[in-house]
Amino acid sequence: TLSDRLTSVFSSLRGKGRLSEEDINATAREIRLALLEADVALPVVRSFIAQVKERAQGAEVSKALNPAQQVIKIVNEELVEILGGETREIRFAKTPPTVIMLAGLQGAGKTTLAGKLGRWLAAERNTPLLVAADLQRPNAVTQLQVVGERAGVPVFAPEPGNGVGDPVAVARASIEQARRNNHNVVVIDTAGRLGVDSEMMRQAADIRDAVQPDEILFVVDAMIGQDAVNTAQAFLDGVGYDAVALTKLDGDARGGAALSIRHITGRPIMFASTGEKLEDFDLFHPDRMASRILDMGDVLTLIEQAQRTFEEEEVAKMASTLASDDDFTLDDFLQQMAMVRRLGPISNLLGMMPGMGQMRDQIGNVDEKDLDRIAAIIQSMTPEERRTPKIINGSRRLRIANGSGTQVSDVNGLVTRFFEAQKMMRQMKNGGGMPGMPGMPG
C-alpha cells in the first residue's frame, strides 16, 4: 500500500529537521503511483503533486509525527480540500417545488438514484415527487415506478394527457402536478445513451430549459474510471450541472474519478451511491473519499492518535510545571505561549486542560500577532528579569521596548497580564484551588 511505500522511503529520515528535496521527490513518485492506480486523471495527478510538494517543502518536521506520517497527513488534507472540503447540501428553492434534474449516461444509475434520493428526501421531511422523463427505453417508466413504490414516493409518469412520448411535456406537467399536490421537491429522471451523443444532450437541455431546475445533478458511475472525466466534461458543455452524484462506489473503483471530476469540472460531489439497495446512499463525504483513494484509513487514524498523544504529553508537562512549588516566571509564561502556538487555537488547548476556563479568560483573546509581540518582549529581557519580574522598572521597560521593537505600553500590558497570571497560579498552588479546577493538583 501507499503507506508501506512511504514508510520505507522515510525510514532513514527520523530526526531530520526538514524534508529534503530528494525525500520529497521520492514521496511524490509514490503518491503519483497511488493516484494513478486509483484512476485519477494524469493532469489532475500532476497539479495535485505540485501542490503537495510545495506544502511539504515548507513543512517543519513535526515532533508528533514521523516524516512519512507528516507527508501522508499533508496529502490527505490536500485530497480532502480538492474533493470539496465540506459536504455540499441541496439548495432548496425559495418557492417550492425545488426542481432536481438527473442527467448522465445510460446505466450510470439515474433511475436508481431517483428512488434513493426520493427516499432520503422523504426521510428529511420533504414530500418528493419522482418524474419519469426517460421515454427512450420501453421499460424505463416501469422501472421508476417500481423504484418509487419501494421508496414509498409517488411517481409522475406519462399517461394519455400527460404528454405521451414527449419528455419535455412530461417534465413540465410534473411541476404543475407538484404544485397541485404540495410536493416540495421534484426529481426528474431523464434518458441516457450508452455514449455521449448530441440528440441526448439536446433532449436534456430542452428539459432543462422547460423546467429550469434548481439543481442539475450529473450522475456518473465511478467504475468507468478515466472515461468519467470525458463524460463529465461532455455533459458540462452539453447540459451543464451544479453538482455530481457518484454511483457504484461499492465496486472495486478506488474513487479516483471523484477527484478528477471535481478538479476538472469544478463541480462539487453531492451524493455517493454504494449499492443497488435504496439505503445504499448518502451525502458525499470528502474525508471518507480521501482515505479511500489513499487506501489507508488505518494510517490516518494512527496519525491522529500520535498527534493526540503528543499533545496530551505536552499538556501534562505544562500541568506539572504549574503544580510545582516554584513560582511562575516569565519563562514559564513564554513557554506556555510557545506551546499554545504549536498546538493550535488557544481555546483547544485550554479545552484539554481540565477546568481551565479562567485561564482562557486570561490569555484567551490573544491573537497570533499578539503572540509574536509577547515572545519578542520576553526575549528582550535578561534572565534575571524573566525570573524576578518585580525588578522590571521604568528604565528597564524602555530598554525592553526598544530591544523588542515595541512600545513601552506593550511592555506594561504584558507585565500586568503576567502578574495576573502569576497571581492565579499562586492561588492554584496554595491548595485553595480555584473554582472549577478539579483536575489540577492542589
Residue of 274, 442, 343 lying closest to 63 (CA atoms):
343
- Residue, CB closest to Mg ion: 111
Give the interface segment with ligand GDP, choosing from 159-167, 271-279, 308-316, 410-418 (CB under 6 A).
271-279
Rounded distance, CA 400 to CA 143, Å? 80
**Contacts with ligand GDP in 227-256 (CB under 6 A)?**
247-248, 250
State the binding string over 58-97 for ligand GDP (x if CB under 6 A, else -): ----------------------------------------
Single out the residue of 67, 84, 97, 109 in contact with ligand GDP (rule: CB under 6 A). Answer: 109
Question: Residue 250 annotated as binding?
Answer: yes
Question: Residue 295 annotated as binding?
Answer: no
Cα-Cα-Cα-Cα dihedral of 116, 117, 118, 119, to 10°?
50
CB of 187 to Mg ion, least distance (A): 12
Q: What are phi and psi of 13, to 5 degrees?
A: -95, -15
Q: Binding to ligand GDP by residue 108, rule CB under 6 A? A: yes
Give the interface segment with ligand GDP, choosing from 99-107, 261-269, 307-315, 316-324 (CB under 6 A).
99-107
Single out the residue of 3, 27, 66, 111 in contact with Mg ion (rule: CB under 5 A). Answer: 111
Give the interface segment with Mg ion, choosing from 18-26, 111-119, 272-280, 381-389 (CB under 5 A).
111-119
Residue of 177, 112, 185 lying closest to 143 (CA atoms):
112
Residue of 245, 3, 225, 269 lying closest to 103 (CA atoms):
245
Q: Binding to ligand GDP by residue 275, rule CB under 6 A? A: yes
Rounded distance, CA 50 to CA 417, Å? 45
Q: Which three cell numbers stand for residue 120?
A: 432520503
Q: Which three cell numbers stand for residue 99?
A: 426542481
- Percentages (nearest 5) of helix, strand, coil residues in the chain: 60, 10, 35
**Contacts with ligand GDP in 277-316 (CB under 6 A)?**
280
CB of 167 to ligand GDP, least distance (A): 14
CA distances from 283 to 120, 154, 442 (A): 10, 22, 49
Residues binding ligand GDP (CB under 6 A): 104, 106-112, 192, 247-248, 250, 273-276, 280
- Residue ranges for the known binding site for GTP are 104-111, 189-193, 247-250
Residues binding Mg ion (CB under 5 A): 110-111
